[in-house]
């Protein structure tokens, strides 16, 4: 999940490459680099760490050129060193790569045996070396790339630059996304529309297996078999891609505090104007023709599926299976025409989720995607794509995408219940009323921030933290733990409250805070008993509940955070706010890099 950019420009491309890399930094920030064809030939600049380091290198040793490629890296093969930073050069070829060349070892050995000298530990360098080898055999750049692509196994988005050719760039994709951008007498390639949003709004997405030969004033796309093909040009909404932090210190808080408004937007998109019924603008799936739903995703999006399982089963009485995409895709699960499969992804590019989609396509009765990026691979390949309308999410840790995924799931559960005869018109209206109150309740939940800041001061001192929840709040415990881990680097685990006594309770002592998500619902008293078990062993409980819950169960707890009273149906959406803000404030207390936590990337396009 690296980011790549390529520009065939009319003026010096260095500043444009750097600004495109800034927009791609969410894909990885272990190192960055650019290669340009200038008056003196090909020049490369690379630096480890964030883009600011590359900017410093460029200031000390400027380069210029009319065409260039750039890369921001999330390391897979080889440590984040300068030698492993892209672009990789072999003879006259420079290459940037996103993905993994799985058979790079035998290819590398083959090329070393031929006398080629490798300078990095990456899988990517083999792309440049193999191309250079074919060029030495007398092939043209186009033929050398075509011959190379036939040798690769794995996933890639590639951009090639050739010394002595300042009006040529070659791009290829298999498994990783890539788009061509069209300018006036300029041509671009980029990992996504966001990368290109600074230079153009005219985009041609490459299909799986495509490769393309680009000149400033023309281009030709070829399919995987080498046949010339036409791919449509689309116009992207640049305004929707404009992002800044507003008055916030981090994108993360901006995105957390945006939730009431984006939630209102997401909900209104899927409700009739009078808010009396569910309305799916793309055409409603017919849940009455399915015997089972299979929900698949990764990370936070998977926890959204986990909450949705409770909703679909309880409200629509339809069996639901959930799995993380990295397991699902390899366990060859039986899928048939009476299954609907729902894939969930903020980016719409997560490699495992995309592979899961491709596995079920043609087997399932319907393949539905819940996505934030409407032009993404997952959106384009699903039978039905339902946008969550969260707007661009920049912070690596997902927040508003999660709650908007829940919003879409909630309306689908109501729809399914209606279609399956489990809910009458009145019942539908009553659940919708509850959903419509969510933005207001989220707003109220955000007002509890001061109590969360106080709690976070203590949490920041802990080495381990546990999260507990029951029913649909159990996935929230998992999400709270994930958020805390990725933002603050404190070890955290989420458990179903009733599961604690089956082992994890051994961890409890006065140094391990236990955060309990416990709205007053049918299972409240059981959760309180589990809390008592923790406190009886010296555990420090932070109770997150409504006023009634706090009145009934605060005795003996270390701290309390008061949430608004809300119906159990919508509680998992509202309780996402403390899950996110506790992690955020613990991280700022510790001084970690909130928007770009170590080792992570926003879009995970490798397996
Ligand atoms: O783009 P996706 O929704 O497919 O991404 C899935 C996960 O990689 C993502 O949710 C990840 O877990 C986040 N960093 C969580 O905050």
Segment 258-273, tens digit of pLDDT: 999 999 999 999 999 8
Closest atom of ligand 1 to 299 CA is: 12
pLDDT at 603 over 80: no
Give the H/E segment covering residue 548: helix 547-553
Residue 309 is predicted with a pLDDT of 98
Mutate which of 604, 605, 606 for ligand 1? The one with the most ligand atoms within 8 Å of its CB, which is 604
Q: Is the CB of 604 under 6 A from ligand 1?
A: yes
295 phi and psi angles, rounded to 5 deg? -110, 125
Query: Is the pLDDT score of 607 beyond 80?
Result: no
d(CA 258, CA 453): 19
358 Cα: distance to centroid of ligand 1 (angstroms): 19
Question: Residue 558 Cα, ligand 1 centroid: separation in angstroms?
Answer: 32
Task: Please indicate whether residue 298, judged by its CB atom, sits closer than 6 Å to ligand 1.
Answer: yes
- Give the mean pLDDT of the chain: 93
Cis peptide bond prior to 316, omega within 30° of 0: no
Q: Over 80: is that where the pLDDT of 602 sits?
A: no
Pairing of strands 491-496, 41-48: unpaired
Whole-number Å distance, alpha carbon 402 to ligand 1 midpoint, is 9
Tokens of 224: 């995987």
Percent of the chain scored above 90 by pLDDT? 82
Give residue 605's pLDDT: 67
Closest by Cα among 138, 2, 121, 140 to 70: 2
Q: Which residue has the higher pLDDT, 207 or 574?
A: 574
| Ramachandran angles phi, psi of 488, nearest 5° | -110, -10
The answer to whether residue 10 scores a pLDDT higher than 80 is yes
Distance (Å, whole) CA 478 – CA 483: 9
Ligand 1 atom nearest 350 alpha carbon: 4
pLDDT at residue number 39: 87
Give yes or no for residue 606 having a pLDDT over 70: no
Please work out whether the CB of residue 398 comes within 6 Å of at least one atom of ligand 1: yes
Catalytic residue among 2, 131, 298, 305: 2
Q: Can you give the pLDDT at residue 260?
A: 94
Per-residue confidence band for 198, with pLDDT thresholds at 50, 70 and 90: confident
154: Cβ–Cβ under 8 A, 6 or more apart, which residues?
A: 99, 100, 101, 102, 103, 104, 123, 174, 175
For the stretch 71-93, pLDDT in tens is: 999 888 888 899 999 999 999 99
- The answer for residues whose C-beta is within 8 angstroms of residue 224's C-beta and 6 or more apart is 174, 208, 209, 210
pLDDT tens per residue, range 401-450: 999 999 999 999 999 999 999 999 999 999 999 999 999 999 999 999 99
Residue whose entry in the numeric block shows the structure tokens 């009458």: 424
Spatial contact of 495 and 486, defined as CB atoms under 8 Å apart: no
Q: Which of 104-108, 345-349, 599-603 has the lowest mean pLDDT?
A: 599-603
Q: Where residue 240 falls among pLDDT bands split at 50, 70, 90?
A: low
Instruction: Give the least confident one: 111-115, 132-136, 265-269, 392-396.
Output: 392-396
Q: Which of these is catalytic: 22, 309, 389, 602? A: 602
* pLDDT(557) > 80: yes
- Cα separation of 308 and 410, whole Å? 7
Q: What is the mean pLDDT of residues 13-40?
A: 91
Average pLDDT value for residue range 125-129: 97
* Position 242 confidence tier, pLDDT thresholds 50, 70, 90: low
What is the whole-number distance in angstroms between the Cα of residue 443 and the centre of ligand 1? Answer: 24
411 lines ligand 1 (CB under 6 A): no
Residue partners of 290: CB distance under 8 A and separation at least 6: 318, 338, 339, 340, 365, 366
> Per-residue confidence at 337, pLDDT binned at 50, 70, 90?
very high
Q: How many other CB atoms are there within 10 angstroms of residue 180's CB atom?
A: 25
pLDDT of residue 598 exceeding 90, the answer is no
> Residue 33 — very low, low, confident or very high, per pLDDT cuts 50/70/90?
very high
Q: What is the DSSP letter of 206?
A: P
- Report the atom number in ligand 1 closest to the C-alpha of 346: 3
pLDDT of residue 29: 82
Determine whether 602 is an active site residue: yes
User: What pLDDT, on a 0 to 100 scale, did the predictor assign at position 237?
Assistant: 75
**Digit-coded pLDDT (tens) for 493-511:** 999 999 988 988 888 888 8
Distance (angstroms) between ligand 1 centre and the Cα of 424 equals 36
pLDDT tens for 283-336 read 999 999 999 999 999 999 999 999 999 999 999 999 999 999 999 989 999 999
Tell whether the model's pLDDT for residue 105 goes beyond 70: yes
- Answer left, alpha or beta for residue 421, where phi above 0 means left and psi between -120 and 50 means alpha: left
């Amino acid at each position: 999940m690296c980011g790549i950019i390529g520009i065939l420009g009319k003026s010096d491309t260095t500043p444009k490459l750097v600004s495109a890399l800034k927009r791609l930094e969410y894909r990885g920030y272990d190192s960055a680099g650019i290669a340009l064809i200038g008056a003196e030939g090909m020049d490369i600049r690379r630096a480890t760490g964030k883009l600011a380091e590359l900017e410093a290198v460029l200031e000390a040793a400027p380069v210029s050129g009319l065409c260039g490629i750039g890369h921001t890296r999330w390391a897979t093969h080889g440590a984040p060193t300068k030698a492993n930073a892209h672009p990789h050069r072999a003879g006259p070829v420079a290459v940037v790569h996103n993905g993994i060349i799985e058979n790079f070892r035998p290819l590398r050995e083959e090329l070393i045996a031929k006398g080629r000298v490798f300078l990095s530990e990456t899988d990517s360098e083999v792309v440049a070396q193999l191309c250079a080898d074919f060029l030495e055999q007398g092939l043209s750049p186009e033929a050398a790339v075509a011959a190379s692509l036939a040798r690769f196994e794995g996933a890639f988005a590639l951009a090639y630059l050739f010394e002595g050719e300042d009006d040529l760039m070659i791009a290829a994709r298999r498994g990783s996304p890539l788009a061509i951008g069209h300018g006036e007498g300029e041509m671009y390639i980029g990992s996504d529309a966001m990368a290109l949003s600074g230079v153009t709004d005219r985009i041609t997405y490459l299909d799986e297996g495509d490769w393309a030969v680009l000149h400033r004033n023309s281009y030709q796309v070829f399919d995987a078999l080498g046949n010339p093909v036409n791919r449509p040009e689309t116009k992207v909404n640049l305004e929707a891609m404009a992002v800044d932090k507003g008055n916030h210190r981090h994108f993360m808080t901006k995105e957390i505090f945006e939730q009431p408004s984006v939630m209102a937007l997401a909900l209104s998109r899927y409700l009739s104007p009078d808010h009396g019924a569910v309305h799916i603008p793309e055409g409603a799936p017919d849940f009455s023709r399915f015997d089972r739903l299979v929900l698949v995703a990764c990370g936070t999006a998977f926890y959204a599926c986990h909450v949705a399982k409770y909703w679909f089963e309880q409200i629509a009485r339809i069996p639901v299976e959930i799995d993380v995409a990295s397991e699902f895709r390899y366990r060859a699960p039986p899928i048939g025409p009476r299954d609907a499969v729902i894939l969930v992804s903020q980016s719409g590019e997560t490699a495992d989720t995309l592979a899961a989609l491709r596995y079920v396509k043609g087997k399932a009765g319907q393949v539905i995607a819940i996505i934030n990026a409407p032009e993404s691979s997952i959106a384009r390949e699903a039978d039905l794509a339902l946008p969550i309308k969260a707007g661009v999410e920049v912070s690596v840790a997902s927040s508003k995408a999660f709650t908007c995924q829940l919003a879409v799931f909630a309306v689908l559960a109501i729809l399914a219940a209606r279609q399956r005869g489990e809910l009458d018109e009145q019942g539908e209206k009553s659940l919708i009323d509850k959903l419509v109150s969510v933005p207001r309740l989220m707003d109220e939940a955000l007002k509890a921030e001061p109590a969360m800041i106080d709690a976070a001061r203590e949490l920041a001192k802990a080495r381990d933290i546990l999260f507990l929840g029951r029913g649909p709040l159990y996935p929230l415990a998992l999400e709270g733990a994930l958020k805390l881990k990725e933002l603050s680097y404190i070890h955290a685990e989420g458990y179903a409250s009733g599961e604690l006594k089956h082992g994890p309770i051994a961890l409890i002592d006065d140094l391990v805070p236990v955060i309990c998500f416990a709205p007053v619902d049918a299972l409240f008293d059981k959760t309180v008993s589990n809390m008592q078990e923790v406190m009886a062993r010296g555990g420090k409980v932070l109770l997150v509940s409504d006023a009634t819950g706090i009145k009934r169960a605060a005795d003996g707890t270390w701290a309390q955070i008061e949430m608004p009273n809300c119906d159990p149906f919508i509680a998992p959406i509202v309780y996402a706010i403390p899950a996110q803000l506790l992690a955020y404030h613990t991280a700022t207390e510790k001084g970690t890099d909130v928007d770009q936590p170590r080792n992570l990337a926003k879009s995970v396009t490798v397996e």
